[in-house]
Amino acid sequence: MTTTTQNAVKKLTHFIGGEMTPGKSERFGDVYSPSTGEVIALCPLASTEEVNEAVEVAHAAFEKWKRISLGKRVEVLHRFRALLVEETNRLAEMIGLESGKTVADAKGEIVRGIESVDLAINAPHLLKGEYSVNVGGDINSFSIKQPLGVVAAISPFNFPVMVPLAMTSMAVAVGNAVILKPSEKVPNSALYISELWKKAGLPDGVWTVINGDKEAVDTILKNPKIHAISFVGSTPIAEYVYSEGTKNNKRVAAFGGGKNHMIIMPDADLDQAVTAFLGAAYGSASQRCMAISAAMPVGEKTAEAFVAKLKARVAQLKVGAYTDESADFGAVITQQSKDSVLKYINESIEEGAVLTVDGRNPEVNAPEKGFYLGATLLDHVTPDMKIYRDEVFGPARIVVRVSTLDEAINLINSHEFGNGVTIYTESGPAARKFTQEIEVGMVGVNVPIPIPVGYHNFGGLKRSKFGEAHMFGPDTARFFTKSKTVSERWPEAKEDSKTEFAFPSSNQ
Ligand code: NAD
């Protein structure tokens, strides 16, 4: 919802040229606290003109930042990392307030975000080029990696700190100027990160936060001084950003939604599988791109035993305010999101799914207006149902029963999404077949959520990712740099110059 009215709620700013800068467009988006359902701030929605002005400021800062030595740049990152650690409690509180996730969960995402700063601190190692001596005619050949210029990151609501850090830390370290356009639903933590960058000594203009909606994104997509875009969000917008951005000659990595399965083989340790499913499926109110959506027990006996154990545990899960230390997860992000999840549940019941645990009207010790949904489990879901085909971003999880591992693999491979998947089994051959044949980017074996650590590449397949680049991991250094190959010759004495018309070869 967007409002243009003046009221007592705090108006947030952008962060441009090292300063908190008020918006000029007079358009604002309401920022809610999902735990109370109240508007806690107004997020400025930048106009095309404001975005383009910010790009000019960033471009000027880039011209200086790219000349700063790698060692000096890394010093800034070291200080930034230390500040993130020092400010973890404050950041976690901010994340909880505006996203609804519990403080414990918020702290977990900060730790994972810091992993990507750790990797960026290693940028000097990742920027080393190749060098060959005397490739022919006393010529030495080497490759160098240089920053691109101004680059942009457009982030989603569900990880207000981890995803922006994963998208941008390496971009800064390798010498770019970065423009972050955070989700307008969670702008506070991005602004706070800006303060930390400034305190760490990052020169003004190298880091910009532009708050906004479609107008800001469309301007980023068109501005010729922006050379690369890293996007994380839902699949339709990821596809749009990828196609428009590449049409305008930009490098784009666009990460979209997921529908992540957990296969439970007949030989799996069921208690371990149930425990893993609970956290991976319902943590963060299931609002993670890597959340497990569907349990896929293999064989009727496995399904009966797994569901019997699972339903008792799901029924005990507790939803609550982000400050409630006894809550397993918090509210969903908006009322609209809550309504959408309820619609999926109700339609699937009409289509024949069996409502095994009903979380539609949870008991919550929190303000009534909060966007709360309890843990819901639907059994006997079939692949033709909408609740199976779509990404459902809320705590309604499903059981899809299959007869064989081949059937499970075929179903998962024919699904639109390919972000994460996992198998629970005691069988090496089954696990090997699964990891070889599955068409999914991040694969687990007896691991609940197979999110790679910061120094490995992150990214899905199929319509979970558009473009070849990855997030986290060493691939980010490649994505945010251009490479050149230099052939260099310094002859000792002047030679008789003779023009060669034959194609140059190394046989000289
Ligand atoms: P979203 O697509 O609604 O928004 C993401 C960003 O796009 C925001 O900054 C938003 O302002 C912008 N945006 C929204 N609509 C737009 C439009 N019409 N034109 C241009 N820009 C637009 O996503 P969300 O609801 O904030 O986040 C949840 C989604 O993100 C889920 O689908 C989740 O799976 C996905 N996600 C994916 C990953 C991953 O790594 N693959 C990680 C986190 C979240």
Q: What are the tens digits of pLDDT across the range 39-92?
A: 999 999 999 999 999 999 999 999 999 999 999 999 999 999 999 999 999 999
Pairing of strands 376-379, 28-33: unpaired
For residue 264, what pLDDT is reported?
Answer: 98
Q: What percent of the chain has pLDDT over 70?
A: 98
Q: Is the pLDDT of residue 1 over 70?
A: no
Long-range CB contacts (within 8 A, 24+) of 195-202: 196/80, 196/83, 196/84, 196/87, 197/76, 197/80, 197/172, 198/18, 199/79, 199/83, 200/76, 200/77, 200/79, 200/80, 200/83, 201/75, 201/76, 201/79, 202/76, 202/80, 202/172
Q: How confident is the model at residue 508 (pLDDT cuts 50, 70, 90)?
A: low
User: In this structure, which residue's CA is closest to atom 43 in ligand 1?
Assistant: 289
Residue 308, number of CB atoms within 10 A of its CB: 12
For residue 338, what pLDDT is reported?
Answer: 98
3-class secondary-structure state, position 30: strand
CATH of domain 260-445: 3.40.309.10
* pTM for the predicted model, two decimal places: 0.96
Q: What are the tens digits of pLDDT across the range 88-112?
A: 999 999 999 999 999 999 999 999 9
Q: What are the tens digits of pLDDT across the range 256-265?
A: 999 999 999 9
User: In this structure, which residue's CA is closest to atom 22 in ligand 1?
Assistant: 214
| Cα(73) to centroid(ligand 1), Å | 30
Q: Please identify, by atom number, the ligand 1 atom nearest to the C-alpha of residue 182.
A: 9
CATH class of segment(s) 14-256+464-484: alpha beta
3-class secondary-structure state, position 335: helix
Is 43 among the catalytic positions?
A: no
The larger pLDDT score, comparing residue 1 to residue 110, is at 110
Sheet of 2-3, strand order:
2-3, 28-33, 38-44, 10-11
Identity of the amino acid at 331: A
For residue 495, what pLDDT is reported?
Answer: 66
Q: Please identify, by atom number, the ligand 1 atom nearest to the C-alpha of residue 289.
A: 34
| Cα(64) to centroid(ligand 1), Å | 32
- Residue written as tokens 């305190």? 199
Q: Where are the domains of the chain?
A: 14-256+464-484, 260-445
| Cα(291) to centroid(ligand 1), Å | 15
Mutation pick for ligand 1 pocket among 28, 105, 158, 179 (CB with most ligand atoms within 8 Å): 158
- Of the candidates 232, 289, 408, 443, the residue annotated as catalytic is 289
Q: Is the pLDDT of residue 453 over 60?
A: yes
Cβ partners under 8 Å of residue 254, min gap 6: 229, 231, 232, 238, 239, 241, 242, 245, 465, 466, 467
- The three-state DSSP-derived secondary structure of 434-477 is HHHHCCCCEEEECCCCCCCCCCCEECCEECCEECCCCEECCHHH
